[in-house]
Structure 1
Amino acid sequence: MKFLAFLSFLFLALPAVAQTGLSAEERQIVQTVDAERERTIGLLERMVNQNSGSLNLAGVEAVGKMVRSELEPLGFDVQWVDMRETGRAGHIVATHKGDGQGKRVLLIGHLDTVFEPDSSFQAFTRKGDRAVGPGIGDDKGGVAIIVAALRAMDKAGTLGEADIKVVLTGDEERTGSPIEVARRDLIEAGRWADVALEFENLARDDAGVEYGTVARRSSTGWTLTTHGRTGHSSGIFREGAGYGAIYEMARILDAFRRELPEPNLTYNVGVMAGGTPASIDEQGFRVTASGKTNIIPETAIARGDLRSLTREQDARVRAKMKAIVAQHLPETSAELEFADHGYPPMEPAEGNRAILAKLNAVNRDLGLPEMPEYDPARRGAADSSFVAADVDVLAGLGVVGGKAHAEGEWVDLESLARQAKRAAILMTRYAGEKR
Structure 2
Amino acid sequence: MPRTLALSLVLTALLSAGVQAQGLSPIEQRIGDEIKAWQPEAINLLERSARINSGTLNLAGVRATGEVFRKELDALGFKTVWIDMPQAMGRAGHLVANRTGPKGKRLLLLGHLDTVFETDAPGPLWEREGERARGQGVGDMKGGNVVVIAALRALHRAGALDDTSITVLFTGDEEEAGYPREVSRRDMVELAKLSDVALSFEGAITGPGGQAMATVGRRATATFDLDVKGRQGHSQGVFGSAGFGAVYEAARILDGFRQAVVEPGLTFNPGVILGGTDVAFDEANAKGTAAGKTNVIANTVTVRGDLRYLDYAQRDRAHARMREIVGQHLPGASASITFRDSYPPMAVTPGNLKLLELYSQASVDAGLGAVGAVPPTARGAGDIQFIAPIIDSLDGLGASGGAAHSPSEHVDLGSLERSAVRAALLIYRLTR
Band the TM-score falls in, shorter-chain normalisation: over 0.9
Q: Distance in 2 between matches of 1:206 and 1:312?
A: 31
2:138 paired with 1:136: yes
CA drift of 1:364 comes to 2.0
Q: Distance in 2 between matches of 1:262 and 1:120?
A: 37
Post-superposition CA distance 1:126-146 (Å, at most 9, x none): 122111110000000000000
Instruction: Give the residue type in structure 2 aligned to 1:48.
Output: A
What residue is the counterpart of 1:380 in the other structure? Answer: 380
Post-superposition CA distance 1:45-89 (Å, at most 9, x none): 000000000000000000111111011121211111112342111
CA drift of 1:179 comes to 1.3
2:77 paired with 1:92: no
What residue is the counterpart of 2:371 in the other structure? Answer: 371
Secondary structure at the aligned position of 1:166 is classed as strand
Secondary structure at the aligned position of 1:52 is classed as coil
CA drift of 1:284 comes to 5.8
More strand by share: 2
- Consecutive unaligned residues of structure 2, counting only runs of 5 or more, are 1-19
Query: Is the 1:191–1:390 contact (alpha carbons within 8 Å) kept by the matching residues of 2?
Result: yes
Q: Distance in 2 between matches of 1:315 and 1:98?
A: 43
Structure 2 CA distance for partners of 1:243 and 1:25, relative to 1, 3 Å: same
Query: Is the 1:98–1:159 contact (alpha carbons within 8 Å) kept by the matching residues of 2?
Result: no
1:308-347 to structure 2, matched below 5 A, reads: 308-339=309-340, 341-347=341-347
What residue is the counterpart of 2:416 in the other structure? Answer: 416
Q: Which segment drifts farther, 273-282 or 139-148?
A: 273-282
2:177 paired with 1:175: yes
Instruction: Give the residue type in structure 2 aligned to 1:289.
Output: A
Secondary structure at the aligned position of 2:309 is classed as coil
Instruction: Give the residue type in structure 2 aligned to 1:106.
Output: L
CA drift of 1:165 comes to 0.9
Instruction: Give the residue type in structure 1 aligned to 2:259.
Output: R
1:112-261 to structure 2, matched below 5 A, reads: 112-205=114-207, 207-239=209-241, 241-261=242-262
Q: Distance in 2 between matches of 1:28 and 1:313?
A: 47
Q: Distance in 2 between matches of 1:405 and 1:75?
A: 34
Query: Is the 2:151–2:423 contact (alpha carbons within 8 Å) kept by the matching residues of 1?
Result: yes
CA drift of 1:371 comes to 1.2
Q: Distance in 2 between matches of 1:102 and 1:226?
A: 56
Query: Is the 1:75–1:96 contact (alpha carbons within 8 Å) kept by the matching residues of 2?
Result: yes
Post-superposition CA distance 1:273-292 (Å, at most 9, x none): 11001121131611211111
CA drift of 1:319 comes to 2.0
What residue is the counterpart of 1:8 in the other structure? Answer: none
CA drift of 1:301 comes to 0.8
Q: How many residues align?
A: 412
Q: Distance in 2 between matches of 1:174 and 1:246?
A: 31
Q: Root-mean-square deviation (CA), in Å?
A: 1.4
Q: Distance in 2 between matches of 1:408 and 1:292?
A: 41
The structure that has the greater radius of gyration is 1
What residue is the counterpart of 2:8 in the other structure? Answer: none
Q: Distance in 2 between matches of 1:208 and 1:20?
A: 22
Q: Distance in 1 between matches of 2:326 and 2:79?
A: 51
Q: Distance in 2 between matches of 1:394 and 1:287?
A: 39
Q: Distance in 2 between matches of 1:406 and 1:325?
A: 35
Q: Distance in 2 between matches of 1:74 and 1:218?
A: 35
Post-superposition CA distance 1:148-169 (Å, at most 9, x none): 0000000111111211111111
CA drift of 1:422 comes to 0.7
Q: Distance in 1 between matches of 2:236 and 2:401?
A: 56
Instruction: Give the residue type in structure 1 aligned to 2:394.
Output: L
2:32 paired with 1:30: yes
Secondary structure at the aligned position of 1:113 is classed as coil
Query: Is the 2:230–2:246 contact (alpha carbons within 8 Å) kept by the matching residues of 1?
Result: yes
Post-superposition CA distance 1:360-397 (Å, at most 9, x none): 11122112211121122111111111111101111100
- Consecutive unaligned residues of structure 1, counting only runs of 5 or more, are 1-17
**Deviation above 3 Å: which 4+ runs of structure 1?**
none
What residue is the counterpart of 2:307 in the other structure? Answer: 306
Post-superposition CA distance 1:242-285 (Å, at most 9, x none): 21111110011000000112111111111111100112113161
